[in-house]
């Protein structure tokens, strides 16, 4: 499967966001991973659609918007208007997941579901035919720079098998604690979209970091 590298701006320098995005664009990133937090679903706040709309003006990168918010369906229109290419919502955050995913797709965006480390794959099973991507969290969402939770590895492998058995080649995205070492592990397990925040933005040479993840 095609490998995609999606640097997360969460650990970028927020004062120079436009430059920080240009840096990873030049460095060969496939997607820009945009972490939206509401302080309710996760114990942290970031930014919302107005900031994303401004960022849309500085890059043509694919915007992969990871909504770590309660009732994400309330914000789908705003993210469409902001220029999001993909909206990923947490299965733990909405009561009507199927409706929410269908609504995202009806707006012409790609749609995905995310699962926290403790959420079983059965929570995603019925939605497999409907989604463009499944994001398995490899840390508890809320902060950049946390350690990779290794017990998610067999979960990635099981999801890849579930998809294969269903005749689907859906993207599996992983998010949290991805670096040179864990990047290899998740790819071996069956993930093909790698989000990386501190690994890409914490080093001097982002281009090199992206290249290493892709290798
Ligand atoms: C965590 C966010 C991640 C985060 C990853 O809640 O969803 O996207 O930015 O950061 P690192 O790569 O530093 O774990
Ligand atoms: Zn994320």
For residue range 8-18, what is the model confidence (pLDDT) as tens digits? 999 999 999 99
Q: Is the CB of 64 under 6 A from ligand 1?
A: no
Provide the pLDDT for residue 199: 98
Span 135-147, pLDDT tens digits: 999 999 999 999 9
Provide the Cα torsion 160, 163, 168, 171; round to 10°: -40
Q: Is the CB of 46 under 6 A from ligand 1?
A: no
Ligand 2 centroid – CA 30 distance (Å): 15
The confidence score (pLDDT) of residue 37 equals 98
Characterize 37-57 residue by residue with b for buried, 16 or more Cβ atoms within 10 angstroms of its Cβ, and e for exposed: bbeebbeeebbbbebbeebbe
Amino acid 137: pLDDT? 99
pLDDT digits (tens, 9 = 90+) for 121-165: 999 999 999 999 999 999 999 999 999 999 999 999 999 999 999
For ligand 1, the distance from its centroid to the CA atom of residue 167, given in whole angstroms, is 30
CB 67 within 8 A of CB 42: no
pLDDT at site 21: 98
- 7 — pLDDT class (breaks 50, 70, 90): very high
Cα 150 to Cα 3, 52, 81, 121: the distances in Å are 20, 32, 37, 16
Task: Say if ligand 1 is within 6 A of residue 198 CB.
Answer: yes
The residue whose CB lies within 8 Å of the most ligand 1 atoms, and thus the one to mutate among 39, 143, 173, 201, is 143
Taking the C-alpha atoms of residue 66 and residue 88, their distance in angstroms, rounded to an integer, is: 5
User: Which pTM was predicted?
Assistant: 0.98
């Amino acid at each position: 499967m095609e490998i995609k590298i999606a640097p997360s701006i969460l650990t970028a320098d927020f004062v120079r966001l436009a430059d920080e995005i240009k840096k990873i664009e030049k460095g060969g990133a496939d997607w820009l991973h945009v972490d939206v937090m509401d302080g309710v679903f996760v114990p942290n706040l970031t930014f919302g659609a107005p900031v994303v709309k401004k960022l849309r003006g500085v890059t043509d990168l694919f915007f992969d918007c990871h909504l770590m918010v309660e009732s994400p369906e309330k914000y789908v229109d705003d993210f469409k208007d902001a220029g999001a290419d993909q909206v990923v919502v947490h299965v733990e955050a909405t009561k009507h997941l199927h409706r929410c995913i269908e609504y995202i797709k009806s707006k012409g965006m790609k749609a995905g579901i995310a699962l926290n480390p403790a959420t079983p794959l059965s929570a995603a099973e019925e939605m497999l035919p409907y989604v463009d991507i499944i994001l398995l969290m490899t840390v508890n969402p809320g902060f950049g720079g946390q350690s990779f939770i290794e017990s998610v590895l067999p979960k990635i492998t099981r999801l890849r098998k579930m998809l294969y058995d269903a005749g689907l080649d859906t993207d599996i995205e992983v998010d949290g604690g991805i670096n040179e070492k864990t990047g290899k592990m998740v790819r071996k397990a069956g993930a093909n979209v790698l989000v990386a925040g501190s690994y890409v933005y914490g080093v001097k040479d982002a281009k090199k970091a992206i290249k290493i993840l892709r290798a």
